[in-house]
Structure 1
Amino acid sequence: MGSFLQARRRHLILKEASREDAEKAGDLWNAIVGLGRDPPAKTFAEAVRDTVPPEHMAFLALDEVGAAYAFDLLWKAGKDVPEGASAFEMRSAAREQWAAFDKKAKQARHVSDGFGWDLAAAWAQVREVETAQGDMDRVERIARLAGRMFASLRGAHATKAHGVSGEVYSVEQGNDVARLLPSETVLLTDSQLEVVTLERIASRRAAQYAVRGTTKKSKGPLVLALDESGSMHGIRNEWAKAAAVALARVASEEKRPVAVVHYATSTVVQIVKPDDSAGVLKMILHFLSGGTAISLALGVAVDQVKALAQKGQHGADIILVTDGIDRNEEEQKKSVDAASSIGARLWTVAIECSISEDSPLRKKAAQYTELNDNAMTKGSSITLLAGAT
């Protein structure tokens, strides 16, 4: 942690406070981060030092962005403390602001964990949302859900055996050589047991992995078409945005590009990189409202797939999230067929609605799933898309 002189060069609130009263501002900063001399007796800075929550001391000493947030709260509160206030009154005022800081610290931690950011980036975005008078509680809910979804996807990946296409969920008997258990394949190297093992394979009695779903040997980009029509407010939108973050984190680990198509009756395309905290926050807060134009969204998604293919990124997956249909099945079919022709698969998630079995959104999808409101609160709901990652 740098000195007050260094910190005020990097934080506007410290610079402005220093112009008002450099000595008081320096004393308050040092009281917050635990640097320098003890603040003068019977001052607000002393009250702040005496009431610093023990659980935040180490964090405040190491994270300058978080400390600057605390300074902002306490500097404003200190100016409201009346002249000649008692030590008790000053401590009460300080504790009130520390309580507000504690809430934001917990939100920043949840944002950091859920989105995979470092704490400094999380604090910066918490302040960005507050400055824009956004709904930080909503961002926190999405972050916590995204974190659970990410963990569920990593867990689903852990159930996949190397070289086996699909999710391993049990062991069965069969004759699929590609799915044989190691205990079977090792017997094929023993000249005395090879004949017996081959006989078990031929008679479908060999031990092999039982799998469900399919995974591509080479993974391409992800294109997420997220419904932002008026009916997608609330938990529906939170699930869609949390899923986008979790999927982007997994894809990023494998160097796979991710594009999000925000759609209603118009579309906005955004490239999402999990380590771009400002970009992720922009994606989360984005909402178009209006009607639902799935055929339009699919057309834009296919254009993104083609653009990525031209850059050598083939075999994309298109994930369509919607809570309604637009009846334009002919255009939907054209877009789905166009995607299929260049090796892209469609995954359709219907939120609190049902799509006809004859619809190309369901009939031609690699997987079609319906989600109810209960499932949308669970991180495990994302595993329905594990095959796309």
Structure 2
Amino acid sequence: MSEVTSLLNSLKPELHIHAIASDRMDMLTFKDLKNKSSNLQEVETDGEQALKTFSPLMQDIWSGLYKYTPELRAPEEMTPSHALNRELVERMTQTQQYKELRLHTRLDDLHSAMATVTMSSNLAEKLKTELKGQADNANKMKDLEESISSESAKAMAYRDMALQCKENERAGLEEKAAASEKQAQSLKKQIPIMAHLIRKSREAAANKMRCAVRNAADEALEQADELSNTMDGWGIGQGNVRNLPIEDKIGLAKLLQTEKLKKMAQLLGRLRRLAIHKQKTKLIQARDEIHSVGRGDDISRLLPQELGLLRHPLAKKDFQKRFLEHDLAQYDLKGTERTGKGPIIVCVDNSGSMEGDREIWSKAVALALLEIATMQKRHYACIHFGSTVEALEITEIAPNDPDTFRKAVGIASYFLGGGTDFEKPLSASCELIKKSQYNKADIVFITDGAAIISPEFEKEFNSIKKQKEFRVTTVLINASQDENTEKFSDEIVEVSELIDAEAGQVFGI
């Protein structure tokens, strides 16, 4: 019995299957992450076909990326079957890509999960090809360890049975226990021999392993940089996604990585900055608008004729006297920014002709206007419209809406590809404006087509517009204005090139 216990202790207690020191909380966190991520589950299943110890390897990759100060265990602390895992992880931590990747992933559940999927998937492929020999050796060692464990367990079971059986059966059970113990001891002697051969094989494949790990880290870093840039373009900080479940974070990240939304993010980043600049400039200009002429001593606002007095010695004394008395003629300024404004509503044409660059540009403009609504603390709505028979897709976002980011991604992702009808989205806009306690809403209507506006609709629409004091700015993409757009528009902006400057014409609302 003592020999069996000694054998089991030599195999397990002081040895580990994880190369990065992980406590129970680390294990539970990653397990929960896997349960919620189909991507991680798929990669794990795929990787285990090549390497039986792939699941602990994934834990090591995640721990090395996520933990604040990951600690790599010494080679002698590892079970022999997991020595390959440790070597791969050690080589991972030695790459420059890993050090840069950690800037994204440390204590960041989204980036660490995404990078774990990418690196694990990449390594799973290498373990089936370039590193297949090393994976096969690790699998053989794993089989050997399991055989030793099995024989040891059998020996212990026979010993327990022998203590409880009849006298005439005891000898046979003790004989079986001894045979299992002997087999376990025999198998155990193979471990150092096999470990030596495997170590030599890994040393011979050192360059292959180095390249495999570097390529995996390189791909993960490229993805992390791309995701960070995309999120920056969208104006997404940790606060926008911190409270989302991890499965939702990963889903949104995958959506943001689609080609259409990556292009949109690049444009949106520039348009957001342009919109913010326009608004700040507008506020400065509003503060400096001339309202009337008054009296005072502000040199920067004096009338030209007062400044002209400084050129004449006698008049200069009068100037100085009135300056001290705050009695010089100067411009009075009055800010023109209105408080309590109605919603910003963006109507986006979703007809088939808008697909491609026009769709990306129009939605980037729509989302930049969301930035303005946020700055002005105004309600916002985006209305995707098509033909008369197609339902409108309406997204409303209130100031400080906790779901703003998810809704914005929904606005960017939706596309109808139908026909064109103007009256339905304009009617919906009026209904939204009626719900607001404030007047002076702004409608931005973006289209590349034309549609009939009936006299009855024109009359009713303009009546509501007068009552609620809202404005309509129509953006025509590669289309000429006609009598129909003139019927409901206060301003028409004709856009021939989908560039930032042309979008800037809309951001003065």
- Whether TM exceeds 0.5 here: the answer is yes
Cα distance 1:126–1:314, how it changes in 2: closer, same or farther (>3 A)? Answer: same
Cα distance 1:176–1:142, how it changes in 2: closer, same or farther (>3 A)? Answer: farther
Q: Give the conservation status (yes or no) of the 8 Å contact 1:28–1:71.
A: yes
Matched residues in 2 for 1:225 and 1:234: separation? 18
Partner of residue 90, structure 1: 209
State yes or no: 1:283 paired with 2:411.
yes
Amino acid at match of 2:95: T
Matched residues in 2 for 1:224 and 1:39: separation? 60
- Alpha-carbon RMSD across the aligned residues, in angstroms, is 3.8
Amino acid at match of 1:149: L
Deviates more, 1:6-15 or 1:229-238: 6-15
Matched residue SS, 1:155: helix
Matched residues in 2 for 1:105 and 1:332: separation? 51
Matched residues in 2 for 1:385 and 1:181: separation? 38
Matched residues in 2 for 1:241 and 1:181: separation? 49
Deviation, 1:9, is 2.0
Amino acid at match of 1:386: F
Deviates more, 1:344-353 or 1:266-275: 266-275
Partner of residue 340, structure 1: 466
Partner of residue 70, structure 1: 115
Q: How does 1:231-270 map to 2 (within 5 A)?
A: 231-265=353-387, 266=390, 267-270=392-395
Matched residue SS, 1:328: coil
Q: Give the conservation status (yes or no) of the 8 Å contact 1:48–1:94.
A: yes
Structure 1 gaps of 5+ residues are 199-205
**Residue-pair matches, total:** 362
Report Cα offsets for 1:80-119 as digits up to 9, x if no partner. Answer: 3124262322332333333332332222222221221125
Partner of residue 5, structure 1: 28
Q: How does 1:121-160 map to 2 (within 5 A)?
A: 121=241, 127-128=250-251, 136-160=258-282
Report Cα offsets for 1:256-300 as digits up to 9, x if no partner. Answer: 110111001131111145863222111101001111111221111
Q: How does 1:1-389 map to 2 (within 5 A)?
A: 3-12=26-35, 13=37, 16=41, 21=53, 22-33=55-66, 35-38=70-73, 42-43=84-85, 44-51=88-95, 53=97, 54-80=99-125, 81=127, 82-84=132-134, 86-118=205-237, 121=241, 127-128=250-251, 136-161=258-283, 164=286, 176-177=292-293, 183=299, 192=322, 197=329, 216-265=338-387, 266=390, 267-272=392-397, 276-307=404-435, 309=436, 312-330=437-455, 331-332=457-458, 334-356=460-482, 358-359=483-484, 361-362=485-486, 365-373=489-497, 376-378=498-500, 380-388=501-509
Instruction: Determine which structure has more spread, i.e. the larger CA radius of gyration.
Output: 2
Cα distance 1:101–1:339, how it changes in 2: closer, same or farther (>3 A)? Answer: farther
Structure ranking higher in helix proportion: 2
> Normalising by structure 1, what TM-score?
0.78
Deviation, 1:221, is 1.0
How much identity, in percent, do the aligned residues show?
A: 21
Structure 2 gaps of 5+ residues are 1-21, 76-82, 136-204, 307-319
Matched residue SS, 2:439: coil
Matched residues in 2 for 1:129 and 1:195: separation? 63
Amino acid at match of 1:343: E
Report Cα offsets for 1:157-188 as digits up to 9, x if no partner. Answer: 232355838xx7xx9xx87459x996465799
> Normalising by structure 2, what TM-score?
0.61
Matched residue SS, 2:420: coil
Q: Which has the higher contact order (CA 8 A, sep 6+)?
A: 1
Matched residues in 1 for 2:419 and 2:297: separation? 51
Cα distance 1:326–1:363, how it changes in 2: closer, same or farther (>3 A)? Answer: closer
